[in-house]
Structure 1
Amino acid sequence: MKKSRLYPFERNRYFYGKLLTVRDFESEQKYFNDKRRLLNRLMFGSGVLSGMSVVAVDDKTVSVEMGVAIDYIGREIVIPAPVTMKLSMIEGFTNNEYKKNVYLCVAYDEKGKEPVHSVGNSSVRSDEVSEYNRLLESYRLFVNEKAPAPSSFEFVRLMESVVTIFENDNVRITQRMPKYVNPGEVVDVKLVVEKTLQTPRIAFDYSIDAKGFTYVGETDGAVSFAEPGDSQDTEYELTYQLKAPLAAGGYAELAIPARQAKLTIGDTAIPIDFSAKHSIEVVEMPVAERILEDWHNRSLEQAVEGSADQSICLAKISLLQMGPTYMIEKVDRMPFGEYIENTSLLQRLLSKGGNGASHQFYASSEAHDLEYDAKPTLDVKYHPERNEFDFKLGIPRPQHLYDEIATGTMEVALESIGKSGGFFFSRGKKNYVSDEISHGLGEGQVSIVVGLEEADESGASAGTGTKKKVYYGQSDVFKGTEFEPDIPNVTLGTIVYPEKGTFRIGMKLRDDGESSASVIAVRWWAFKSLGAAPQAAMNDSYENELAEAASSLED
């Protein structure tokens, strides 16, 4: 295997008397190496298998632990012992600008070992010739000062749609979302902001144009990012959700027009030069099967195309400029997730016998009140770090009953004639009709409930104060009991004028029973009709329920 090109495999054929040359022995090694590396690349992929942790030893020095990795054409990289080096001494580190992020990478490297005198070459050359007796399969550490593009990683190309919105030496803003979606699926869209530590605070506001997608939650097409003032991070993620079209087949689009994007770095407004757009395929089959289909359909050349010179990034190192020099502020290990997981571990994680926690989703819900005439709302947010959906339901409050009720009292004086009973205003007259009373609820149908009110002062001596009682219906049912009222037995009736917003109360004395009361206090309740049903449609049962409600409110 030479770079990313694959040659047909051929091996030595041995026979008696064959003259073996350098070429034969080299092809013997190449045959086994290339086969192993091809299988490494296609079966396991590329990345760190174990170890290779990077830590800061001091302000200018890093240490790389021992470990094993496989590079992008299947070669094994082994760091047999920890390595500690000053960052400025590592290949690729430049001293022109210190306020930056640098990326510490590792690559496969071969080095000659054990120089020996070459007897064969000395027979044809006059000077002494030395050759290396061994080739050491080693490694090379170096620094890249520019982050690799997300699409340079094969797993990203297969699974995600990534667009770059803005990029310069200190800032890169990308947006990422799944490459394939199922109909009606709610998907995460991630805005990723990468910057150096000494870059001023970043604010980014933009609007999205969605074709096929619908907004979920509070997004409504407007996205806003503002870097926290006290943060010392070099990478931020802002996630919002969209819902895929309900029909499979075709594509849904998500565009970020440049004219609708506003980027501010510090106090400087930065123009966005071009529009970015995602084109996402809506598929009927499970997304995982669609990704596997792409994996199976790729050619052998595509599997290794452009990967020969790609290195493995072990750490992102954030630097601060300190006068004429620098200081290591932060080390983020494996910033692009270039790992190779053990197949036995993956099998157990994905099998039914495994923990299964990674496949469970959780939901939390919260309901809150809205104004009674508002429309119900539903806000859904997904938190991928804990596999949780957060549902917030807004429910309109019912219109408060007390907004539809009015109450008042009316007093009617009686003329006492001893034990013969009380009459309304004059002897021999037992009927009384009030003037029009305004209930204050405006025009429209109302239901009027009236009752006789009596002040009970029996508890005053005990320090409990005066209590009121209101008798609805026929008060004579309490006659002969401890609850017998000290008021005349009166029948009450009402007349309602819906167009005027008024009513009248009529009273009739039913008998000549004894009463010490000189005034009858009538308590009335007016209930505004909550529906379109006319007053005549209200039956006695409904009126009784209103009376009970009025009684409980009075108590």
Structure 2
Amino acid sequence: MKRSRYYPFERNRYFYGKLLTVRDFESEQKYANDKRRLLNRLTTGSGVVSGMQVVAVDDKSVTVEMGVAIDYAGREIVIPSPVTQKLSMIDGFTNNEYMKNVYLYVAYDEKGKEPVHAIANSAVRSEEVSEYNRILESYRLFVTEEAPDPASFEYVRLTETIAPIYQDGHVRIYQRMPKYLNPDSVTDVTLVIEKTLQTPKIAIEFDYECDALSPIGASNRHVAFADPGDGRDTEYTFKYAVKAGNPASGKAALRILRESVKLTIGDAKVAVDANPRHEVELIHDRVPERVLRDYFERTLDQSLDGMAEQSICLAKISLMKMGPTYMIEKVERVPFGEFVHNPSLLQRIGGFGGQDADSRFFTKSEATELPYGSKPELNVDFNPDRSEFTFKLGVPQPQHIQDEIATGTVTVELEPSNKSGLYFFSRGQKSYVTEEIASTLGAGQFYVQVGLEEKDIHVTSDLLQSGDQVYYGNADVFKGSEFESPLPNVTFGTIVYPAKGAFRIGMKLSQATEASAIKLRWWAFKKLPGAETAAVVSTAKAATKEAAAAKEEDLSGK
């Protein structure tokens, strides 16, 4: 198919008495095939149309599902049924090294079918001659160990510039950048790091210089990337932004300073000999229109011959070394996006008429919590240097039931009131008041309930208590019953500080006791404003407003 020519087209002209030869029948087939393939290539595109999923079925084998694709010469490739093969049995696979990525391709292939005896040939040859009666339009699978050059894809050449930085058998590092920019627009420069699964951590940093481009952010023309080293990814991307100027020349450039590049793979420092450089054209037209113009200004030779021999990559397969052999760790389907997209589907999902990538705005957002009952807040900031909007949203906290209730204990030490050592309070004697106790409910009105806890306060572990009881209210009601408390009868009072969200407990004994301290259990209850409270407040506000209006009317009448 090298330098294949689909034009000019010639078709057979039939007439009575015409002697038909092999050449006539072959040209008949070639005419139909070439026209169909030309339209396939130029109007439909190239890539996977449907199916052809690649799945690892075990550590060493893959299955390619049935499917349809169109290659870069416009030929249809059909896999009629699933095919399962050991990776080592596929053409192109080598056992030289198992720690690598391999790429599984599918290509168009023709095979002879139904061999028959050629009668005409036997008349001029002494030996028997056989010919194939059919040609089977088939496919072949093969493996390569080197990733394709990104610039080998036509859509990349039309839209991006690629700057290689470093490449060996395990690592490939390069940068991508748009080919066209509008003046004063912001764009991302993408650093791409590809590696095998068992390659050590990669770190790279470098400085760059620009013509008619200025860096965005605090990077100061310095880029640094460190491999997170989680061992699961074989490709990383790192982006930094630049803003286009508006020079009279309409040209811009970005160059990586080779002497500033510091590349480390594992513990080894690697020298970089490349001089990566991006050439960018600054245009005032819409970038998509310029790309379309380049597309339609290609010559027919460029359209047909440039990629005619390129095959379709179905999968990127990451291999891990396991002792003396390998295992399939990961399969990435169609890693270079070689799909044929259905125009009707693209129209449905907005593939046509979408927002231009070069004129988009950048956005970022952050959310903060506001106290319960507050109104939501939304603040928007715009950074013209980055064409970036920052949205800051304040969201009120929800009402939680557990926020309405809090509990705790406090121990009150008693002082003996006579020489016998008894702890006795009589009416009019000093009462005990605790220090301020934080309710943990926050500011606002709340109610406190206090009880007397029957527990030996000198026992350090709750597990040693035989039976704990808490008495609320007047314990005298239990006298004479099996529930009578050995603790003295106590009168409680509380002071609440709504502004602080704190309170104090006051206590007076009405009888003598041998206890040296008393343990109190308190509960604090806070009713947060709900729908009913809001309705009451709303009604009160409305009534106040009506009263004020009536008063104003009365005064104006006087």
The verdict on a shared fold, with TM-score over 0.5 as the criterion, is yes
Q: Deviations over 1:147-200 (max 9, x none)?
A: 100000000000001110001111100100110001111101100000111111
Call closer, same or farther: CA 1:311–1:29 in 2, change over 3 Å: same
Q: Is the 8 A contact 1:98 1:320 kept in 2?
A: yes
Call closer, same or farther: CA 1:279–1:352 in 2, change over 3 Å: closer
Paired position in structure 2 for 1:58: 58
Call closer, same or farther: CA 1:343–1:366 in 2, change over 3 Å: closer
Paired position in structure 1 for 2:311: 311
Paired position in structure 1 for 2:133: 133
Matches of 1:341 and 1:92, distance apart in 2: 30
* Aligned partner of residue 208 in structure 1, secondary structure: strand
Paired position in structure 2 for 1:106: 106
Paired position in structure 2 for 1:32: 32
Matches of 2:194 and 2:264, distance apart in 1: 14
Paired position in structure 2 for 1:208: 208
- 1:105-184, aligned counterparts within 5 Å? 105-184=105-184
Query: Which letter does structure 2 place at the counterpart of 1:5?
Result: R
Matches of 2:8 and 2:74, distance apart in 1: 17
By how many angstroms is 1:246 displaced?
Answer: 3.6
* Aligned partner of residue 29 in structure 1, secondary structure: helix
- 1:66-465, aligned counterparts within 5 Å? 66-246=66-246, 250-350=250-350, 363-365=363-365, 391=390
By how many angstroms is 1:352 displaced?
Answer: 8.3
Call closer, same or farther: CA 1:255–1:352 in 2, change over 3 Å: closer
Call closer, same or farther: CA 1:65–1:248 in 2, change over 3 Å: farther
* Aligned partner of residue 315 in structure 1, secondary structure: strand
How many positions carry a matched residue from both structures? 382
Matches of 1:42 and 1:280, distance apart in 2: 27
Call closer, same or farther: CA 1:32–1:244 in 2, change over 3 Å: same
Matches of 2:151 and 2:5, distance apart in 1: 21
* Aligned partner of residue 243 in structure 1, secondary structure: strand
By how many angstroms is 1:2 displaced?
Answer: 5.9
* Aligned partner of residue 295 in structure 1, secondary structure: helix
By how many angstroms is 1:306 displaced?
Answer: 3.1
Call closer, same or farther: CA 1:262–1:99 in 2, change over 3 Å: same
Q: Is the 8 A contact 1:218 1:379 kept in 2?
A: no
Which structure would you say has the larger Rg? 1
* Aligned partner of residue 36 in structure 1, secondary structure: helix
Query: Which letter does structure 2 place at the counterpart of 1:288?
Result: P
Call closer, same or farther: CA 1:130–1:17 in 2, change over 3 Å: same
Q: Is the 8 A contact 1:192 1:235 kept in 2?
A: yes
Call closer, same or farther: CA 1:355–1:286 in 2, change over 3 Å: closer
Matches of 2:287 and 2:253, distance apart in 1: 17
Matches of 2:274 and 2:153, distance apart in 1: 24
Query: Which letter does structure 2 place at the counterpart of 1:173?
Result: I
Call closer, same or farther: CA 1:50–1:10 in 2, change over 3 Å: same
Query: Which letter does structure 2 place at the counterpart of 1:15?
Result: F
Matches of 1:166 and 1:184, distance apart in 2: 31
* Aligned partner of residue 345 in structure 1, secondary structure: helix
By how many angstroms is 1:365 displaced?
Answer: 4.6
Matches of 1:46 and 1:19, distance apart in 2: 39
* Aligned partner of residue 347 in structure 1, secondary structure: helix
Matches of 1:51 and 1:58, distance apart in 2: 20
TM-score normalised by the chain length of structure 2: 0.64
Q: Is the 8 A contact 1:110 1:139 kept in 2?
A: yes
* Aligned partner of residue 350 in structure 1, secondary structure: coil
By how many angstroms is 1:353 displaced?
Answer: 9.9
Q: Is the 8 A contact 2:2 2:305 kept in 1?
A: no
Query: Which letter does structure 1 place at the counterpart of 2:330?
Result: K
TM-score normalised by the chain length of structure 1: 0.65
By how many angstroms is 1:268 displaced?
Answer: 0.6
Query: Which letter does structure 2 place at the counterpart of 1:226?
Result: A
Call closer, same or farther: CA 1:144–1:19 in 2, change over 3 Å: same
Matches of 2:352 and 2:179, distance apart in 1: 27
By how many angstroms is 1:231 displaced?
Answer: 3.5
* Aligned partner of residue 229 in structure 1, secondary structure: coil
Call closer, same or farther: CA 1:52–1:293 in 2, change over 3 Å: same
By how many angstroms is 1:343 displaced?
Answer: 1.2
By how many angstroms is 1:300 displaced?
Answer: 0.3
Matches of 1:317 and 1:380, distance apart in 2: 42
Query: Which letter does structure 1 place at the counterpart of 2:319?
Result: L
Matches of 2:85 and 2:161, distance apart in 1: 38
Paired position in structure 2 for 1:8: 8
Q: Is the 8 A contact 2:204 2:261 kept in 1?
A: yes
Q: Is the 8 A contact 1:379 1:391 kept in 2?
A: no
Call closer, same or farther: CA 1:167–1:316 in 2, change over 3 Å: same
Matches of 1:80 and 1:325, distance apart in 2: 32
Query: Which letter does structure 2 place at the counterpart of 1:13?
Result: R
By how many angstroms is 1:366 displaced?
Answer: 6.0
* Aligned partner of residue 349 in structure 2, secondary structure: helix
Matches of 2:238 and 2:360, distance apart in 1: 23
Matches of 2:270 and 2:352, distance apart in 1: 51
Call closer, same or farther: CA 1:26–1:85 in 2, change over 3 Å: same
Matches of 1:299 and 1:360, distance apart in 2: 32
Q: Is the 8 A contact 1:50 1:69 kept in 2?
A: yes
Q: Is the 8 A contact 2:104 2:142 kept in 1?
A: yes
